[in-house]
Amino acid sequence: MSVSHTLLGLLESGPRHGYDLKRTFDVHFGQDRALHYGQVYATMSRLLKHGLVEVEGVEPGVGPERKRYAITDAGVSDVETWLTTPEKPEPYLQSTLYTKVVLALLTGRDASSLLDGQRAEHLRLMRELTQRKRSGDLADQLVCDHALFHLEADLRWLELTTSRLDRLAREVVR
């Protein structure tokens, strides 16, 4: 996820303080990983330097001054380009799991147990996400569906690899 583009997009509805940006980001996108305040302010500093935001106002406070950021025309254009550019699909050709299977075979370890353990972990996470999906709002349901579909594809790969494990062992342990 592009934090800078997300924060820019949030500014399109109107100027906000860093605290408000963090809070809104966390509500919509930070369910599993909240944004740190330091990341918000570092990102806003970079966006300011690149002319994508401007400081609309500064309010004195008990602590540091509170800056209110506004998106510039260049920032709106940048968000528009980002939103309309399709994301590159991840082909997962350099999978950590595949590497572990091959290394297990090369080192004489039990690759079948590795695959079984991974399957159990995938199923555990799928149960957790399914429960979260049942009790979540529509946004949470969509996020969980995305993750569940990827986990289902991984499970299919695990099953296929398990069925081909003897053949793979013969090919990699030559």
State the pLDDT at residue 65: 78
Q: Is 174 exposed, middle or buried (0-12, 13-18, 19+ CB in 10 A)?
A: exposed
The answer to whether 8 and 78 are in contact (CB under 8 A) is yes
The C-alpha R_g of the chain, in whole angstroms, comes to 23
Dump pLDDT digits (tens) for 48-90. Answer: 999 999 999 888 777 777 899 999 999 999 999 999 888 887 7
pLDDT of 94 over the 70 cut: no
State the pLDDT at residue 174: 78
For the chain, what are the domain ranges? 3-84, 96-172
Cα distance between residue 101 and residue 117, in whole Å: 12
CB neighbourhood size of 118 (10 A): 18
pTM to 2 decimals?
0.72
Cα distance between residue 140 and residue 133, in whole Å: 6
Cα distance between residue 139 and residue 143, in whole Å: 6
DSSP string of 16-45? EEHHHHHHHHHHHH-SSSPPPHHHHHHHHH
State the pLDDT at residue 74: 97
pLDDT of 145 over the 90 cut: yes
Q: Confidence class of residue 20 from pLDDT cuts 50, 70 and 90?
A: very high
pLDDT of 93 over the 70 cut: no
Q: Which residues lie across from 16 on neighbouring strands?
A: 69
- 163 closest CA partner among 111, 89, 94: 111
Q: What CATH number was assigned to the domain covering residues 3-84? A: 1.10.10.10
